[in-house]
Amino acid sequence: STPEMLMELRDIFDRNCTEIAAQRRTEDDLAKMRECIDRLKALTAQPGASLDDMLKADLDFHRAIYEASGNILIVTIAEFVLNMVAPWVKKSLDVSGRVRAVELHEKMYGSIRDRTVGQTNRLSVEANMQHFKQSLDTATSKAG
């Protein structure tokens, strides 16, 4: 697969999963998401923080969203998707994403917390995907 294929898959997946999570989430689900964002935020504030730890916090946030869907099939397929995109998320965090990732996750979290569905919810995911794409484009151009 190519990074573009993975981005497209993740975009489709995340758009729909955040909307389902917004409809079904519990306070426990929100607490898990909040903990992941707070962990990522704390790591971005540390100059020597491990990129692997940041990646784990980032992916754990997305796992919490998938779990909030209440659908075990989504959770199972999501794990497959996350494993495929993990190297690219790591590159995104490394190239330009540390602080921006926190902001984008906050938007997605707010949308889920406020039970926002439709276009507003999708815009929070779209912003995250645009950032991901720009980071990958930057990483690809530096490698080439």
Structure tokens at 82: 């996350």
Q: What is the pTM of this model?
A: 0.83
Would you place residue 26 in the very low, low, confident or very high pLDDT band (cuts 50, 70, 90)? very high
Of the chain, the percentage scoring pLDDT greater than 90 comes to 47
Architecture of domain 3-143: Up-down Bundle (1.20)
- Which among 15, 3, 9, 2 has a CA at the least distance from the CA of 80? 9
Nearest-angstrom CA–CA distance, 23 and 41? 26
Would you place residue 36 in the very low, low, confident or very high pLDDT band (cuts 50, 70, 90)? very high
Domain spans of the chain, in order of start:
3-143
> Residues 47-94: pLDDT tens digits?
889 999 999 999 999 999 999 999 999 999 999 989 988 988 888 888
Nearest-angstrom CA–CA distance, 35 and 40? 9
Structure tokens at 48: 């020597």
DSSP state of 93: I
